[in-house]
């Protein structure tokens, strides 16, 4: 019986790929497990193994073909004695791709930087390059490491493997194994070690594969990194950056999909940053590395592959503690951080088409919060909706609500509204996962509600 070989999904976020190379030819015998082709995904080149045994009857998709959608038939494996010429190529079965995650906000929705709040990028008139958030983060580390040799990068798979999410691509090659260090899977241990190294005069960048695993290191982050400066009467600070993916990824369920923003934002002694765009990623990570305090840097896996225009200059940085007005408006203020900025921008687009002018604030830093920008905007629009992936209880939106009460109570025309993750551990099933997360529609509904529309 003939078996079709389909273009496989080789990662949780892959929807198409390039068929780089066939390693077998028509007529070759294949065993299950044999590598038959090389496929390039957004992250890496992967080997495709045969799952059936037989003869490679026909190659349907030639090597070098790009943009082959997942599930497209690429070859047919037949049994010995079967006639290859009789093979009919049937259409692929329509199956939902694994990543039914809402297509993240297009970069195009990002307005021109000129609208931005008064921050240093305003003054930037130099050239920009379109690059992914992944590359922006790597460049930020590389540039800083070139200028200061006390900076080192430590974490699981950061060196030889080039990063589990390929953020540290090329760094081992450039900086060597003294400064780009693979650790055992011992988060509590290497976090404590990095705190010690920072006390000792170095500037560690610690990569958590994801922040879910930083929970193992929570004690060192809070009790050692955050509190020691205070306890030592200002003698001993901890100039370290703790960075990695935070928030929901796609289809990885409760233990790998959680937003920790409000946990860290609660802690005096830490600075907490959560970038959205490539420019945020680069400018803020550079500032974080230069900062003399422990900085928690919350990235987002789904954003890693998205491209944005990023300033080229080595000295381009974005100040910590300043938010950015991504889109100005007059009727309602949408306040978001990380991937939810994209959702808020989409919602603003929809609202605009219905006659509601929404201002979108990208918080960028969660501790200290940019109270000025938030309050000024609310005084203008008189309505506010916060948008985040975190759970509702004691989240960043709760803090925004409190700030609004304290600083702009008399300006409010409607109660503060919070759009956030549902109050449940992240479910695995695709439909439940989608229901558990905020989306454009939920933001639009909330914005209309506070506008009484």
Ligand X SMILES: Cc1ncc(C[n+]2csc(CCOP(=O)(O)OP(=O)(O)O)c2C)c(N)n1
> By C-beta, is 177 or 406 nearer to other proteins?
177
> By C-beta, is 210 or 228 nearer to ligand X?
210
Interface with other proteins by CB under 8 A: which range of 247-255, 357-365, 369-377, 442-450? 247-255
Query: Which strands, in side-by-side order, build the sheet including 65-69?
Result: 45-49, 35-40, 16-22, 65-69
Residue 266 is a catalytic residue:
no
Task: Rule CB under 8 A: say whether 2 interacts with other proteins.
Answer: no
Task: Rule CB under 8 A: say whether 97 interacts with other proteins.
Answer: yes
Task: Rule CB under 8 A: say whether 359 interacts with other proteins.
Answer: no
> By C-beta, is 237 or 244 nearer to other proteins?
244
From the list other proteins, ligand X, none, which binds 153 (C-beta under 5 to 8 Å, kind-based)? Answer: none
Write down the least CB distance from residue 244 to ligand X, Å. Answer: 10
The residue whose two tokens read 């003698």 is: 235
Residue 177 is a catalytic residue:
no
The active-site residue, picked from 135, 187, 326, 389, is 187
Task: Rule CB under 8 A: say whether 153 interacts with other proteins.
Answer: no
Question: By three-state DSSP, how is residue 194 classified?
Answer: helix
60 Cβ contact partners less than 8 Å away, ≥ 6 residues apart: 73, 74, 75, 76, 89
Residue count at the site for other proteins (CB under 8 A)? 62
From the list other proteins, ligand X, none, which binds 14 (C-beta under 5 to 8 Å, kind-based)? Answer: other proteins
From the list other proteins, ligand X, none, which binds 8 (C-beta under 5 to 8 Å, kind-based)? Answer: other proteins
| Interaction mask 43-62, other proteins, x per CB under 8 A | xxxxx-x-x-----------
Phi, psi of 311 (to 5 degrees): -55, 140
Using alpha carbons, list the distances in angstroms from residue 141 to 123, 169, 205, 207, 367.
23, 11, 9, 11, 22
Task: Rule CB under 8 A: say whether 156 interacts with other proteins.
Answer: yes
Length of the chain: 453
Whole-number Å distance between alpha carbons of 96 and 189: 42
Element (H, E) at 379: helix 371-381
The token duo for 232 is: 């030592």
Task: Compute the Cα dihedral for 186, 189, 195, 196 and give only its sign.
Answer: negative
Using alpha carbons, list the distances in angstroms from residue 307 to 107, 132, 182, 380.
7, 4, 28, 32
Task: Rule CB under 6 A: say whether 187 interacts with ligand X.
Answer: yes
What percent of the residues of the chain are helix, what percent strand, and what percent coil, each to the nearest 5? 35, 25, 45
Ranked by CB distance to ligand X, the top (closest) residue is 213
Whole-number Å distance between alpha carbons of 346 and 238: 39
Task: Rule CB under 8 A: say whether 221 interacts with other proteins.
Answer: no
For Cα atoms 270, 188, 202, give the angle at the middle one, nearest 5 degrees. 60
Contact status, residue 294 vs residue 242, Cβ threshold 8 Å: yes
Whole-number Å distance between alpha carbons of 107 and 112: 11
Residue count at the site for ligand X (CB under 6 A)? 6
Task: Rule CB under 6 A: say whether 185 interacts with ligand X.
Answer: yes
Interface with other proteins by CB under 8 A: which range of 77-85, 107-115, 184-192, 260-268? 184-192
From the list other proteins, ligand X, none, which binds 45 (C-beta under 5 to 8 Å, kind-based)? Answer: other proteins
The gap between the terminal CA atoms of the chain, to the nearest Å, is: 61
The active-site residue, picked from 256, 349, 407, 422, is 256
List the beta strands (DSSP E) in 32-175: 35-40, 45-49, 54-59, 65-69, 73-78, 128-132, 151-155
Given candidates 156, 331, 388, 399, which one binds ligand X under the rule CB under 6 A?
156
Task: Rule CB under 8 A: say whether 216 interacts with other proteins.
Answer: yes
Q: How many other CB atoms are there within 10 angstroms of residue 429's CB atom?
A: 10
Task: Rule CB under 8 A: say whether 206 interacts with other proteins.
Answer: no
From the list other proteins, ligand X, none, which binds 111 (C-beta under 5 to 8 Å, kind-based)? Answer: none
Q: Tell me whether the omega of the peptide bond preceding residue 296 falls within 30 degrees of 0, making it cis.
A: no
Interface with ligand X by CB under 6 A: which range of 43-51, 209-217, 387-395, 410-418? 209-217
280 Cβ contact partners less than 8 Å away, ≥ 6 residues apart: 318, 324, 362, 364
From the list ligand X, other proteins, none, which binds 266 (C-beta under 5 to 8 Å, kind-based)? Answer: none
Task: Rule CB under 6 A: say whether 216 interacts with ligand X.
Answer: yes
Interface with ligand X by CB under 6 A: which range of 107-115, 175-183, 208-216, 238-246? 208-216
Task: Rule CB under 8 A: say whether 12 interacts with other proteins.
Answer: yes
Contact set with ligand X (CB under 6 A): 156, 185, 187, 209, 213, 216
Q: Which residues are catalytic?
A: 187, 256
Contact set with other proteins (CB under 8 A): 6, 8-12, 14, 32-33, 35, 41, 43-47, 49, 51, 70-71, 93, 95-100, 156-157, 160-161, 164, 182, 184-186, 188-189, 212-213, 215-216, 249-256, 422-425, 427-432, 435-436
């Amino acid at each position: 019986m003939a078996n079709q070989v389909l273009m496989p999904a080789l990662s949780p976020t892959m929807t198409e790929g390039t068929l780089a190379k066939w390693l077998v030819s028509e007529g070759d015998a294949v065993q299950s497990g044999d590598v038959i082709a090389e496929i390039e995904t957004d992250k890496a080149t992967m080997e495709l193994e045969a799952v059936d045994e037989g003869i490679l009857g026909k190659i349907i998709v030639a090597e070098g073909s790009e943009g082959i959608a997942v599930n497209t038939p690429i070859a047919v494996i037949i049994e010995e004695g079967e006639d290859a010429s009789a093979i009919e190529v049937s259409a692929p079965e329509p199956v939902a791709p694994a990543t039914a995650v809402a297509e993240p906000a297009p970069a195009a929705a990002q307005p021109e930087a000129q609208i931005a709040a008064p921050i240093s990028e305003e003054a930037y008139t130099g050239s920009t390059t379109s690059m992914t958030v992944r590359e922006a983060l790597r460049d930020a580390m590389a540039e800083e490491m070139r200028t200061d040799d006390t900076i080192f990068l430590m974490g699981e798979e950061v060196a030889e493997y080039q990063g589990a999410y390929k953020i540290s691509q090329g760094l081992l090659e450039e900086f060597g194994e003294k400064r780009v260090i693979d650790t055992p899977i011992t988060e509590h241990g290497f976090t404590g070690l990095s705190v010690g190294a920072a006390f000792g005069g170095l500037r560690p960048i610690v990569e958590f594969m994801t922040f879910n695993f930083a929970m193992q290191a929570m004690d060192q982050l809070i009790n050692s990194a955050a509190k020691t400066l205070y306890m030592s009467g200002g003698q001993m600070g901890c100039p370290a950056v703790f960075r990695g993916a935070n928030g929901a990824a796609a289809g990885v369920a409760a233990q790998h999909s959680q937003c920790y923003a409000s946990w860290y934002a609660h802690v005096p002694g830490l600075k907490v940053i959560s970038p959205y765009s490539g420019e945020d990623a680069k400018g803020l990570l550079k500032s974080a590395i230069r900062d003399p305090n422990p900085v928690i840097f919350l990235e987002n896996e789904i954003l890693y592959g998205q491209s944005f225009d990023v300033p080229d200059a080595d000295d381009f940085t974005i100040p910590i503690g300043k938010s950015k007005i991504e889109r100005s408006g007059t009727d309602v203020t949408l306040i978001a951080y990380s991937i939810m900025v994209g959702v808020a921008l989409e919602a603003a687009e929809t609202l605009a088409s219905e006659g509601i002018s929404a201002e979108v604030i990208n918080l960028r830093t969660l501790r200290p919060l940019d109270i000025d920008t938030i309050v000024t905007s609310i005084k203008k629009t008189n309505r506010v909706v916060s948008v985040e992936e975190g759970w509702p209880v004691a989240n960043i939106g709760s803090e925004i609500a409190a700030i609004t009460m304290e600083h702009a109570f008399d300006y409010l025309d409607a109660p503060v509204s919070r759009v956030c993750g549902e109050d449940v551990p992240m479910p695995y099933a695709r439909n439940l996962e989608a229901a558990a997360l905020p989306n454009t529609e939920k933001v639009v509904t909330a914005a209309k509600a506070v506008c009484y529309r």
